[in-house]
């Protein structure tokens, strides 16, 4: 448990380094991340390399005992390279090259770019592998940031054709799978296939609407695979010279919507994962449950502790600022990260840079570099963690509930949303939120991984599943697991075609139901009643016919009043639930209590609004985090006696928390 800062020695006069290092040490900043945008400093001209500046910086900060995460600088190929090798440029969805001028302007499939990256990465890895200051590596920066996963250039088109050839073998097989008899889209060879750019459908030329959904999903998968392949190449380059752990910074913040990369696959390439956590800035404000969900995703990709590689430390934005973090919020956000599985929290950035795109983006320090109230708050956190580290190693929440997260389903649903207002990501949050509200940690899983560590598995809108995944879920249920499927689960094959089996298709036997009729709700709502109390659906209603299942919820309005909306089916020793509609927040909460209790989870924890409770452990010692997001004090009642590990006060009956304050409780002996 410790803090760090993202630092750019190249932005400041060397005379300033000393002040910075001393202020860092004073604040208990243990680690800095360095060098992720420095390509033009390393290679100012083709083949001419300069490392002295970095040698100097590493030696300098190393002397202060500050550890370093060393980056590969592939996110910013320099101007001379772009001018000489314009094929490096990523192409947008219309096939136009992106311009030099910001960053991430490269195509992952450009051979030139791949070669240039490998060459520089090799030199860096070789030179710094043994530097005593370095403790880990970061590859690239924010892979897939700002829609850069999907490129529409010629290189990508060629590689995509090979990818398809490998997948389908023959063009007839592809034609059959894609259903190209529809609208005369039959291909005679893989060379006839184009990447699905925008502009095929006349009045929506800004996107790919109307194109073959199987082709689109394949292209999304190919793009994700391309990023993973690029990443693997960088990781392998480093591994040739270094045994230190390797990572990159992911982007799961709700505000940064999906990057189009399958993070379960990408994470396999890393020794540990990290992410960039901005809570209130130019592009929006994240609610605490959303940030918690993002942390949950991060710890789930590898089922182990992670880092926050960029944690917000001031007001930020490019052209407009979000609000300044109210006193206490930096500390609160940091402990939220720790409670949910973050081992190290690195603040972005040490000091606001006075030039360039992010000249408005504030770090811990303002442009003037003087100690300020945010520095004071960070220093407090640094000191507390120094103390806490004596009692705790990396903490992880004890999750007994899991939600299946399927990137295939998410992308499929982004191609065909099914109904206005429905988003895969939001629906998953709707299932996460009620457990979060009651202090029950939830992990995310793939359909294929081991489910037995969980008492309850939720599969909202799992539109498609592999044979292996289906079998895995079935086995889990057979053995006594509790599983829930929602409407629109199981309706597609893995190629993004609709199944001709009656809805819910793949899962019809498990759920023991058939759905002949469903009502996508446009501008209306439908009332329901069931084990979740009374609820309102506003997006979708399946009229559920039980085959082997038992009805536990019904519609009470519209022409299907009296029909089933929720069922339960006995499968072996387990139970499979089917919920044919979406529900409002209150009903979802009651549903969580119902399902939790069925799964043997204690759902009685007293919970105050705007307070996050996380039950975590480092394997030896437990830590009950109480985080107050309210701008007023709260009193939380406790059933046992605890020691507050920050203040070392004893907690009896209740713990009182000031606005934005935090308690870490350990059962009193």
Could you list the residues known to form a binding site for Zn(2+), using ranges. Answer: 107, 151, 153, 156
Is 142 among the residues known to form the active site? yes
The structure tokens listed for 543 are 């009229």
SS3 of 440, please?
coil
CA angle, residues 454, 458, 459, in degrees to nearest 5:
130
Is-contact 112 219, C-beta < 8 A? no
- Asked if residue 386 binds its own copies (CB under 8 A), the reply is no
Q: Which stretch binds its own copies (CB under 8 A): 24-32, 319-327, 460-468, 618-626?
A: 319-327
Is 585 among the residues known to form the active site? no
The structure tokens listed for 13 are 């006069």
Residue 104: closest CA among 196, 39, 156: 39
Which string of x and - marks every residue 589-628 that binds its own copies (by CB under 8 A)?
A: ----------------------------------------
- Asked if residue 104 binds its own copies (CB under 8 A), the reply is yes
- Closest CB to its own copies among 323 and 600? 323
User: In degrees to the nearest 10, what's the CA dihedral of 103, 107, 108, 109?
Assistant: -170
N- to C-terminal Cα separation, the chain: 23
> Hey, which residues between 255 and 294 contact its own copies (CB under 8 A)?
280, 285
Asked if the peptide bond before residue 469 counts as cis, ω within 30 degrees of 0, the response is no
Going by the DSSP 8-state scheme, the letter that residue 151 receives in this structure is -
* Buried residues in 473-502 as b, exposed as e (16+ CB within 10 A): bbebbeeebbbbbbbbbbbbbbbbbeeeee
Strand-pairing partners, residue 351, are 365
- Closest CB to its own copies among 525 and 644? 525
Residues ≥6 apart with Cβ < 8 Å to 41: 10, 50, 53, 54
- Closest CB to its own copies among 369 and 572? 369
Place of tokens 């992410």: 275
Binding residues for substrate: 103, 141, 318
Number of residues that bind its own copies (CB under 8 A): 110
> Hey, which residues between 534 and 563 contact its own copies (CB under 8 A)?
559
- Asked if residue 423 binds its own copies (CB under 8 A), the reply is no
Among 270, 272, 518, 532, contact with its own copies (rule: CB under 8 A): 518
- Asked if residue 315 binds its own copies (CB under 8 A), the reply is yes
* Continuous segment of H or E residues that includes residue 237: helix 213-239
Which string of x and - marks every residue 44-63 that binds its own copies (by CB under 8 A)?
A: xx------------------
- Integer Cα distance of 374 and 377 in angstroms: 5
Q: What is the DSSP string of 454-518?
A: -SEEEETT-----HHHHHHHHHHHHTT-EEEEETTTT-B-TTSPBPSSPBTGGGHHHHTEEEEEE
Among 129, 360, 394, 494, contact with its own copies (rule: CB under 8 A): 360
Q: In angstroms, give the least distance from the CB of 290 to its own copies.
A: 17
> Hey, which residues between 120 and 159 contact its own copies (CB under 8 A)?
146-148
- Asked if residue 521 binds its own copies (CB under 8 A), the reply is yes
Among 55, 468, 516, 604, contact with its own copies (rule: CB under 8 A): 516
- Asked if residue 101 binds its own copies (CB under 8 A), the reply is yes
- Integer Cα distance of 140 and 36 in angstroms: 6
Q: Which stretch binds its own copies (CB under 8 A): 219-227, 347-355, 391-399, 597-605?
A: 347-355
- Integer Cα distance of 69 and 461 in angstroms: 39
Q: Which stretch binds its own copies (CB under 8 A): 455-463, 519-527, 561-569, 636-644?
A: 519-527
Q: In angstroms, give the least distance from the CB of 446 to its own copies.
A: 25
Among 418, 486, 489, 528, contact with its own copies (rule: CB under 8 A): 418
Which string of x and - marks every residue 326-345 that binds its own copies (by CB under 8 A)?
A: xx------------------
Q: Which stretch binds its own copies (CB under 8 A): 158-166, 211-219, 396-404, 445-453?
A: 211-219
Among 157, 269, 310, 474, the active-site one is: 310
The structure tokens listed for 297 are 């995703």
- Asked if residue 205 binds its own copies (CB under 8 A), the reply is yes
CA angle, residues 144, 146, 149, in degrees to nearest 5:
30
- Closest CB to its own copies among 39 and 163? 39
Active site residues: 142, 310
């Amino acid at each position: 448990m410790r803090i760090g800062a993202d630092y750019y020695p190249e932005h400041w006069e060397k005379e300033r380094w000393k002040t910075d290092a001393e202020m860092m040490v004073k604040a208990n900043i243990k680690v800095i991340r360095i060098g992720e945008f420095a390509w033009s400093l390393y290679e100012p001209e083709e083949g001419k390399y300069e490392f002295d500046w970095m040698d100097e910086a590493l030696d300098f900060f190393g002397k202060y005992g500050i550890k370093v995460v060393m980056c590969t600088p592939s996110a910013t190929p320099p101007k001379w390279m772009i001018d000489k090798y314009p094929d490096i440029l990523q192409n947008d969805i219309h096939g136009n090259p992106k311009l030099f001028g910001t960053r991430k302007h490269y195509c992952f499939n450009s051979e030139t770019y791949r070669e240039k990256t490998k060459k520089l990465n090799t030199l860096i890895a070789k030179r710094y592998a043994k530097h005593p200051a370095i403790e880990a590596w970061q590859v690239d920066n924010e892979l897939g940031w700002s829609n850069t996963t999907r490129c529409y250039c010629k290189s990508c088109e060629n590689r995509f054709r090979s990818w398809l050839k490998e997948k389908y073998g023959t063009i007839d097989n592809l034609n059959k799978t894609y259903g190209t008899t529809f609208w005369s889209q039959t291909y005679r060879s893989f060379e006839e296939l184009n990447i699905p750019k925008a502009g095929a459908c006349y009045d929506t030329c800004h996107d790919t609407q109307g194109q073959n959904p199987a082709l689109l999903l394949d292209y999304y998968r190919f793009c994700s695979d391309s990023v993973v392949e690029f990443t693997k190449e960088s990781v392998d380059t480093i591994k040739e010279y270094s045994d230190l752990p390797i990572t990159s910074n992911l982007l799961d913040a709700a505000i940064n919507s999906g990057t189009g990369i399958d993070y379960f696959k990408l994470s396999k390439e890393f020794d540990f994962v990290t992410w960039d956590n901005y809570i209130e800035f130019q592009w929006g404000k994240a609610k605490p449950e959303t940030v918690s969900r993002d942390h949950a995703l991060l710890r789930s990709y590898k089922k182990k502790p992670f880092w926050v590689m960029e944690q917000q430390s001031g007001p930020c934005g490019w052209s407009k600022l979000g609000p300044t973090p109210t006193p206490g919020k930096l500390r609160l956000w940091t402990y939220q990260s720790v409670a949910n599985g973050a081992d190290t929290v690195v603040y972005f950035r040490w000091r606001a840079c006075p030039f360039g795109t992010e000249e408005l983006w504030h770090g811990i320090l303002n442009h003037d570099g003087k100690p300020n109230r945010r520095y004071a708050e960070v220093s407090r956190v640094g000191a507390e963690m120094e103390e806490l580290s004596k009692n705790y190693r990396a903490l992880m929440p004890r999750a007994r509930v899991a939600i299946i997260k399927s990137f295939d389903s998410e992308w499929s649903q982004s191609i065909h949303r099914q109904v206005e207002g429905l988003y895969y990501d939001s629906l998953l949050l709707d299932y996460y939120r009620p457990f979060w509200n009651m202090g029950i940690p939830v992990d995310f899983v793939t359909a294929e991984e081991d489910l037995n560590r969980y008492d309850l598995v939720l599969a909202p809108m799992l539109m498609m599943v592999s044979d292996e995944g289906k079998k895995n879920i079935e086995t889990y249920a057979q053995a006594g697991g509790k599983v829930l499927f929602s409407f629109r689960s199981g309706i597609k094959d893995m190629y993004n075609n609709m199944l001709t089996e009656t809805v819910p298709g793949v899962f019809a036997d498990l759920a023991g139901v058939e759905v002949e009729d469903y009502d996508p709700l446009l501008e209306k709502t439908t009332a329901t009643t069931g084990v979740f109390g009374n609820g309102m659906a506003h997006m979708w209603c399946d009229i559920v016919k039980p085959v082997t299942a038992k009805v536990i919820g019904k519609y009470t309005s519209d022409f299907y009043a009296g029909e089933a909306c929720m069922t339960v089916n006995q499968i072996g020793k387990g139970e499979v639930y089917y919920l044919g509609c979406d529900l409002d927040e209150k009903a979802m909460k009651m549903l969580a209590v119902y399902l939790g209790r069925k799964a043997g989870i204690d759902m009685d924890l007293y919970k105050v609004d705007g307070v996050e409770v996380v039950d975590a452990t480092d394997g030896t010692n437990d830590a009950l985090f109480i985080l107050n997001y309210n701008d007023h004090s709260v009193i939380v009642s406790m059933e046992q006696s605890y020691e507050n590990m920050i203040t070392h006060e004893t907690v009896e009956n209740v713990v009182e928390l000031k606005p934005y304050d935090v308690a870490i409780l350990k059962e009193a002996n």
